[in-house]
Amino acid sequence: MFIAGNWKMYKGPREAAAFCRALREADLGDVDVAVCPPFVSLAEAVQVLAGTEIGVFGQNCHWEAEGAFTGEVSAPMLRELGVYGTIVGHSERRQLFGETDENVARRVDAALEHGLHVIACVGETEAEREAGETEAVLRRQVSVLHEDDNLVVAYEPVWAIGTGRTATPEIAQEAHAFVKSLLDVPVLYGGSVKPENARELAAQPDVDGALVGGASLDVESFAAICRAASHS
């Protein structure tokens, strides 16, 4: 069971360091744990969490090792910092910044090639679900990925991200089973995961953990999710 906290554009270096110091002392149960701070806070997180089993992931990664790509960060740069892995293809990157299945695949491949672990995000919008297109969307998004020991997929129904709405455990299980029928990798659930629903979600047979957004910004909340998932 793997629980990753995506901090999005929250927590600068000072706040990130304080959070990670508290996380070191927290009871996280028996799960694998990672935090995904903004780029400016990665170095502090790596330093504070050194010597622990808690991984530090970036939130994105470019497909080139270096070059004229203003505002981007490469896999070798993340590795040099001591970062363990990266999120790729989050729905916010796809929706707000125009990332496509094709360049998500290039980012994933580059990160894996340079030794990073990858959380590759997939998921349908509310309109796509209502149109009965969930499986077609997931098939398209997953088809560009390749099985790798360092790859996990995060199923994030876009309609459940930051909305307070959560896919029912049954909806999550159905989507996870479908993704696994296409690609033999662990699949995390993401979309308004909270301490109150983490145990039931994690208890589903094809749910291998969670990519947690807003609830990962508070140490107690995040730790509670980790403990709930470890007891599922």
172: closest CA among 140, 211, 230? 211
Helical packing angle, 134-143 and 101-113, nearest 10°: 40
Dihedral pair phi/psi, residue 122, rounded to 5°: -135, 160
Beta-carbon contacts of 22 under 8 Å, excluding residues fewer than 6 positions away, are 219
Token pair in block for residue 231? 């007891």
Active site residue 156: yes
The residue annotated as part of the active site, out of 62, 90, 117, 176, is 90
Beta-carbon contacts of 159 under 8 Å, excluding residues fewer than 6 positions away, are 124, 125, 126, 129, 165, 191
Task: Yes or no: say if 201 and 156 are a contact pair by the CB < 8 Å rule.
Answer: no
The residue annotated as part of the active site, out of 92, 99, 124, 156, is 156
Burial of 205 (0-12, 13-18, 19+ CB in 10 A): exposed
Beta-carbon contacts of 212 under 8 Å, excluding residues fewer than 6 positions away, are 3, 4, 5, 6, 190, 193, 222, 225
Query: Which residues are annotated as catalytic?
Result: 90, 156
